[in-house]
Structure 1
Amino acid sequence: MRILVLGGTAFLSAEIARQAVAAGHDVTCLARGSSANPPDGVTWVRGDRAAGAAAFTGVGGGWDEVVDVSRDPVQARVALDVLGPAAAHWTFVSSCSVYADASVPGADETAALLEPLPEGQAGTPDTYGESKSAIEQMTLATVGAKAHIVRSGLIGGPGDGTDRYGYWPARFAANTDTVLVPDIPDDATQIIDVRDLAAWILQSAEEGLTGTYNALGDVVRFEDYIAESRRAAETAVGDGAAQDVIRPDEDWLVRHGVDYWAGPDSLPLWLPADHDGFQARTNQAARERGMVLRPWQETLMATLEDEKQRGLERDRKAGLSRDTEQRLVALWRLEER
């Protein structure tokens, strides 16, 4: 197949390109290359999609498969207009952030969506879900009969730049200081390995699969994930792994300024109470259409190995800084006396 990946330099799009080359496909990546180069073996067309239709000047047409991971509706519209008519199959990687209600566990692809951004409005980080919803809508309107809409959840595995899934195994492996863990043992986590997601996207393109699917991992209890993170750290660093844990309740964490989910001074994978379904949607439809998931413990171990290579004590995009964590541990112990 002749495959065009709009991107190909970061995480998921790079993994799709890498696997496609390994499978013997003719792969082209349209990318700026400002942060990284596409994988070896692809044809690299340098282009900045902010330039509009001019970015596609050297791309050509007649693609068997186009993969777009865009979060900007303006850029997605241009790609659909320029490439859509001649593309045989079109994959848009959307997100489960398009859903309007995150409170219901087990919800499927028929759940209500957020109102899409108005046509012509560029996306921002604050309108991520609405942006993806808008791109879904325009994709279906433009290339609907050949569109595969992939609603991914949290993507983990080697190369994850968000620092969320890897925070906990890396934290236990980093040093022996006390680890602050939210007291949410039964909360759901739901991560899909980037390698499994890329493999299913490529398989679906080869088979011509169309329709909209939740591409998610299986649900894992937060406490099971934490316990496995501790075991992985002990395997990786032995006696250097942290053993002491405190578990403040959620109200205490909120009172002391700890943030949910991601970003500085956050506890990754911890969500507000009205988000019980955010990491607990069904993946049954995608599984029935061939999506195969490796054991989540394997993803966690691979993530920790990647964390070790990148530096366990590096500055992170998500999680508590060491100073903040030590301050909170001291406060908790003082208040518990």
Structure 2
Amino acid sequence: MEKLRHGPDDLTCRSERVGFYSDGVWCAATLHQPADDSGEAKPAILMVHGWGGIQNALTVPFYEEFTRAGYLVMTFDYRGWGDSAGLPRQAISVRQRMRDADAALAFLKAHPAVDPARIVVWGSSLGGGHAVELAADHPELAGVIAQVPMLDGTAAVRAVPLRRLLRFAFYSLVDLIKPGHPVYIPVVSEPGAFSSMDRDSAQMALQLAERSLGRKYDNRVAARSLMTMGPYRPFRRLKDIRVPTLLLGATNDTVAPFVEAAIRKVNNHHVLVQTVEANHFEPYFEPFFSEVISKELAFLESLR
């Protein structure tokens, strides 16, 4: 696989660090503006990261292409992750993350450079599940893109080998009952090593993320976070969506299996289902990136 198409040293967009508060906790964010800024209010895209995602980790080529298409793009770090405040560090609660995403959306809507009637939410992996929820909760959105979305936590849990699942349960229990600092496990690892994700080119994604970040990634997640996955089933919200929504699934995904049959059974005409023959992380790499971004840009063009 080839490296990412764009890196931090060859961007054409202009980036500005900003921030907002979610439940009183400061969250770091960045606005990426098109290079040829006309000064008029622009359509905007809110990028919602996945399980261990932080700003600029694998998202650079996506927001570069979106700004080339004329969109202002906002990335942000969830509380307790990346450059955001919040304790405990590196812990995941899907309900808390949804509140952070809602706060990020409110901040973007209020920005003077943004046309609030033309905001699209883009989410990937676990963030793709959040994007589906945002689509259901915010009928005022112009559109939603959910890339390799985690739509069914039960299916994701079933894809984990039993021995690994039992180890997850043990670490999660110890983390919950242990006083003081969380018990951490690696977010990703090489195949066969212990982590929350060791499949679907996860280790290669880590290497490319660090190349994009220009620093080491804090590769740990509180073990208690694993307990949030099984009950999380945002595909149940598909019936409530009333805005144009692209679900772009990977047919070989074993991290967040794409439950295409359950999706199509909903039969919501607002939801466009497309697939790529890739695993969970391959859409971030060439040659899959070009296919994925072409589908997403075509969807964005259809919203104009």
Q: TM-score range by the shorter chain?
A: 0.3 to 0.5
Greater Rg, structure 1 or structure 2? 1
